[in-house]
Structure 1
Amino acid sequence: MHKRSDKVAEAIHELVSALLVKGLKDPRVGFVTITAVKVTDDLHLATIYYTVIGSDDEKKATRHGLASAVGFIRKEIGKSLRMKYVPDVVFKYDESIEYGSRIDKLLKEIGTTEGEHD
């Protein structure tokens, strides 16, 4: 049995991903991927996790662009999902992919150095 918050999170994920593909009018928002959406059980807060391909400056610009688009995104969620209360939206940079890449790199380095000592 799925919780309602899970269904709402899935719907928000699809909607926000589609909005980003169509393109927000904000030039600061670069190549963004929505990695996850978590909605609180009371449906009052939606945390949208995202990653960005680009430099640190591009990541920073995207963060500001997404923050300024929160009102528009909430309005679109309200229109699309027809909920009594539209959740507040918070964007958080998903560091897990970078973290995973770093671990991968370290493991490869360890494997390389171990191979040299055989």
Structure 2
Amino acid sequence: MPSRDFKRTDRVGAELRREIGTLVHAAVRDHGLPSCSVSDVEVTRDLDWATVWVTALLPAQSKEAVKALNELGGEFRRSLSRQMRLRRVPELRFKYDDSVDKGERIEHLLRQDSPQSEADGNED
């Protein structure tokens, strides 16, 4: 029997990421939420819970966006149950993904520490 490259939770997570991404995009447009997008979805092994990681265009509005998305979670779940072929759609919980912010901060720090004196010394 061939080995499976992907677990079922990975496949369900990828499908949820696509579907929830379109739902979040529509919610941002229709409900006037702060601009955000879905970066990843992690599903538990028993498929009872799905953690949806979102990033916000403006990090200052991230708490507001996550709170609004958590309030819309039930509506999203109903919509997913009609769209997806799953026996049971997982409960959704939205969390802010700060990895982009951390990456930008690290990049900023690296740019500050870049050796400017080496570039000046090579002009001889």
Q: CA RMSD in A?
A: 1.7
Shift of 1:92: 0.8
State the SS of the aligned residue for 1:49. Answer: strand
State the SS of the aligned residue for 1:41. Answer: coil
* CA distance, structure 1, for counterparts of residue 36 and residue 59 of structure 2: 13
Indicate the residue corresponding to 1:47 in structure 2. Answer: 51
| 2:16 corresponds to which of 12, 19, 25 | 12
Aligned amino acid, residue 63 of structure 1: V
* CA distance, structure 2, for counterparts of residue 109 and residue 22 of structure 1: 39
* CA distance, structure 1, for counterparts of residue 59 and residue 116 of structure 2: 33
Which deviations, in whole Å up to 9, do the C-alpha atoms of 1:48-72 show, x marking residues without a partner? Answer: 101111252x222212210110101
* CA distance, structure 2, for counterparts of residue 30 and residue 73 of structure 1: 17
Report the TM-score, using the length of structure 2 for normalisation: 0.82
State the SS of the aligned residue for 1:23. Answer: helix
| 1:88 corresponds to which of 88, 91, 114 | 91
Indicate the residue corresponding to 2:31 in structure 1. Answer: 26
Runs of 5+ in structure 1 lacking a partner?
none
Which deviations, in whole Å up to 9, do the C-alpha atoms of 1:19-62 show, x marking residues without a partner? Answer: 122335422x2211111111111111111101111252x22221
Residue 60 (structure 2) pairs with residue 76 (structure 1): no
Answer with 66-75 or 13-22: which moved more. 13-22
How many aligned positions are there? 114
Greater Rg, structure 1 or structure 2? Answer: 2
Report the TM-score, using the length of structure 1 for normalisation: 0.86
The one of the two structures with greater contact order (alpha-carbon pairs below 8 A, sep at least 6) is: 1
